[in-house]
Amino acid sequence: MEAKKIHSNSIGILKESSLHAALKQWYKEPGDKLEESIDNYVIDIVRGNLLIEIQTGNFSSIKKKLEDLTKSYEVRLVFPIIRDKLIIKMDPIRNKASTMRVSPKHGTYYDIFEELIRIPHLVPKINFTIEIILIKIEELQKINSMGSWRRKGCNIYDRKLVKVLEKKLFFTPFDFLMLKPTSLRTPFTNMELALSLNKPLRFAQKMSYCLRKMEMVKVVGKKGKAFLFDISCKDL
């Protein structure tokens, strides 16, 4: 969720999405405190000495909040990735579902690198962890002329949690290095990484950038015009 100062109009759940609210309820445990004010920020969940932030948007909006809080507290960032999605198009006149289809796109743990490029410097901090949860959602779209052309005139007006499918806690940079495909030989180029992941080159560049900032890989030379990357610590 977007970082919130306590003087902001968006305190609490006033502008909270259905998805974020549902994830907060799913994640909380007995004794947790919700929407607590700490150091001029509103924290999603406070669990003893642990501050938990659930972020359903990009990491740019929460970067400063995390940087500030990790100076003094133990912080966990919870990031949901949509693995399965049912798209429901609503008829605005009848307010009923007109069509339903399963999205062909399925998110994976690798998708964390799309956002992690904004905060890789925080990962090595001993008091900072990231928990990724793979989820199934319903995406409600409303048919109107203001919607995206990619969605054929529909706009997204809500996302609802159906189920949490998996979760994985990342404690250290090494945990992210372990996402490297076992089939990838070292040293490697970004193109070789992309091919091993079956991902675009741009994605591989984001992943190698994050791993470099975490000091998990380093540039050891070139292969033609492409940089060659190798594992920083061979005993890992």
Secondary structure in 3-state letters for 177-221 = HCCCCCCCCCCECHHHHHHHHCCCHHHHHHHHHHHHHCCCEEEEE
CATH 3.30.420.40 fits 174-236, yes or no: no
What percent of the chain is modeled with pLDDT above 70?
A: 84
pLDDT tens, 89-145? 877 666 666 678 899 999 999 999 999 999 999 999 999 999 999 999 999 888 765
Domain ranges, ordered by start, for the chain: 1-171, 174-236
Residue 30 is predicted with a pLDDT of 97
Q: Dihedral of CA 90/91/95/97: which sign?
A: negative
Closest CA to 128 of 82, 65, 177: 65
pLDDT tens, 12-24? 333 468 999 999 9
Residue 141 is predicted with a pLDDT of 84
pLDDT tens, 135-175? 999 998 887 655 444 545 577 778 999 999 999 999 999 99
